[in-house]
Chains A and B, each alone.
Chain A
Amino acid sequence: MAASIYLPMLEYFMYYLYQAVVPRTVKMAEDQDWTAVYPTAASFKPSAVPLPIRMGYPLKGGVSPDKQGNLELIKIPNFLHLTPAAIKKHCEALKPFLTEWPSALDSDEKCTEHFPIQVQTKDFVSSGASLRNPNARIVTMKVPLSSLNLDDHARKKIIKLAKERYCEETDTLTLVTDSCPLKQQNYDHAMYLLTVLYHESWKMEAWEEDKAREDMEEYEWQDSPSQRNVVELLERTKGTEERKKDLLSQPEVQEYKDAIVIMKNHGETEENLLRYKEAVKKLYNI
C-alpha cells in the first residue's frame, strides 16, 4: 500500500540536528487507521497530528504561533478521537447489546395510546471523585387524563384532588416526586400516588352529597338565577298558558343559555359578548 509521506524538510533537519526521534507525522501513511492514533480522548500531540495547524493571536506583521509547544492547542478540547470512522466502530461494538424497535409502534400517536404514562428522570455527569448528585432522584410522571377510565364525577374529583398538578390545555396530570433519597423509590412513590388518586376519585363519600352551587367547577344553567329570570320574563310577555318546559325548549332560550354558559365558563371575549347581545335581542324580539 504505497502512499505519499508528509516530509517537511526543515522539521526533519531540525530533529536530525537535535538527534531526537523523528516525529510520527513523518512516518504516517495517508490511509492509516486514525483510530489507532487517537483511540481515546487525549490532548493535542503535535508530533502525532499531521496537520500544519497554527493557533494564537499573531503579532503585528507576524503569523500565529506554530503547533510545536503551543499551549493554546493543548488547552482546548479536541475531538480527534471521535472521527466518523471511530464512531462507526463504537456503533458496531454497541450493536450486540441492542434490540429492534417494536415494528407495531411506528407513530407517536400509537406510542402515547399504548404507553400513556411518561416518566422523566435526569442523570448528571460532572468532574470530581463522586458520582452522586442529589438532583438525580427527582422523578416527573405525566399522564393524560383521557387515557384513564374516569366518569364525570371521578374526573371532576381527580382534578380537584390534583389542584395545580393538572394542566387544562394539555389535559395532563403531572406528579413530581423528590421526597425519597433514591430514584427507584421516587418512581414507586409516583406510581402509588397515581393509583391512589384514581381509586379515590371513583369513591363517593357521604359528604360529597352536600356539594352546593358554589363548589361546582363549571357554571350550570339548570336551576340558576339566570334561568329563573328568563322564565319570569317569558311568562310575563307571553302569558302563563304555556308551561315552563315549553318555554325553555324555545330556540331563543337555548341560544341565550349557550351564550351565558360560554361566557361564564370561558370568560368574556369579543365574540362571546356579541353572541350574548344577539341572544338577548332575540329574547326581547328587538
Chain B
Amino acid sequence: MPMLMHKNVFPQMLESTWHVRSVHISAVCLKNRAARIRISKGDRPLTYEQTYHPHHIGHLKGWLSQHTGNLHGEDGAAQFIIEDVFVRRFIFGTFCGCLADELVLKRRGNQLIICAILNRKLATSKIYFLVGYVEELLSHFYKIPVKLELQIVNEKNIYKYV
C-alpha cells in the first residue's frame, strides 16, 4: 500500500467521500405570499392595487410597467426590470410619504414616463422642485428623456378595509 493511502496517515480518505447524500436548497419562491396583505381586524384600509393579488393581473388589474421587452423577438426585458426597480425605490424615497399609490412606468419610444399620484403632504413649490430634481437626475442617469406626470389627490382612495 503506498504511503499516502495508509489508514493511519489519512484515515478519512478510505471512506468514500463521493457517496455522501447532501441537501440542496434553492431560493424559496413564495408565490402564495407575494404582494398580499393578510386579513386583519378590519381596520386596515387597502387601495384597489393592494386588494387584488398578482394572479388578478390581466383580469381585474392592469400592468404597472409597460415596455416592449416582453414581445416576441424583442430584447431588453431584464434591463427594463432593473431600471424599474431602481426608479420605484428612488421615487419612493424622494417623495417620502407623499405617494398615494404605486407608480405606473410607461416607456414610449426612448422616453420613460413616470405616472405618480401624490397626496397633499408637501407644499406646491417643494413638489415642483422635486419634480425637476427627479427628471433631471434620472434623465442624466439613464440617458433617456424622463418625464414625471403627477396627479394630486386629497386623500388615498380606499377601496376596502381588511
Contacts and interface: CB of A to CB of B under 8 A. Distances in A.
Interface of A: 14, 18, 20, 41-43, 45-47, 56-57, 59, 65-66, 68-72, 74-77, 125-129, 131, 135
A42 to B, nearest CB: 7
Given A69-B157, A74-B115, A75-B63, A127 B109 contact: yes
B156 A69 contact: yes
Nearest to A127: B107
Can you list the 5 inter-chain pairs with the closest CB atoms, starting with the nearest? A127-B107, A75-B62, A69-B153, A126-B68, A69-B157
A8 to B, nearest CB: 15
Which of B80, B153, B154 counts the most chain A CB atoms within 10 A?
Answer: B154
A193 B51 CA distance: 62
Interface in B67-83: 67-69, 71, 73-74, 76, 79-80
Contacts of B71: 126
Interface in B93-113: 100-102, 104, 106-110, 113
14 contacts: A20-B154, A46-B151, A66-B157, A72-B61, A74-B115, A74-B151, A75-B63, A127-B69, A127-B107, A128-B68, A128-B76, A128-B107, A129-B110, A129-B143
Contacts of A59: 159-160
B149 interface: yes
Interface of A, helix, strand, loop or mixed by DSSP: loop
A68 B52 CA distance: 19
A125 B159 contact: no
B135 interface: no
Contacts of A41: 108
Given A43-B113, A43-B115, A57-B60, A71 B106 contact: no
B67 A71 contact: no
B134 interface: no
Contacts of B62: 72, 75-76
Give chain B's interface residue range (CB within 8 Å of chain A): 35 or more
Given A18-B154, A75-B63, A77-B66, A127 B149 contact: no
Contacts of A42: 149
Interface in B114-162: 115, 117, 120, 142-144, 149, 151-154, 156-157, 159-160
Contact of B108 (A20, A47, A66, A127): A127
B158 to A, nearest CB: 10
A41 B106 CA distance: 11
A115 B153 CA distance: 61
A56 B104 CA distance: 16
Nearest to A68: B153
Given A57-B60, A126-B74, A126-B76, A71 B48 contact: yes
A41 B111 CA distance: 12
Contact of A75 (B68, B104, B108, B120): B104
Contacts of B73: 135
Given A46-B151, A59-B159, A75-B66, 15 more contacts: A18-B120, A20-B152, A42-B149, A43-B106, A43-B115, A56-B60, A56-B159, A69-B157, A72-B48, A72-B62, A74-B115, A77-B66, A126-B74, A128-B79, A128-B80
Nearest to B144: A129
Contacts of A47: 151
A69 B67 contact: no
A71 B76 contact: no
Given A75-B62, A75-B63, A127-B68, A69 B108 contact: no
A18 B153 CA distance: 11
Contacts of A71: 47-49, 101-102, 104, 117
B64 interface: yes
Contacts of A70: 48, 157
Contact of A127 (B61, B63, B67): B67
Contacts of A75: 62-64, 66, 104
Given A46-B151, A127-B107, A129-B144, A68 B157 contact: yes
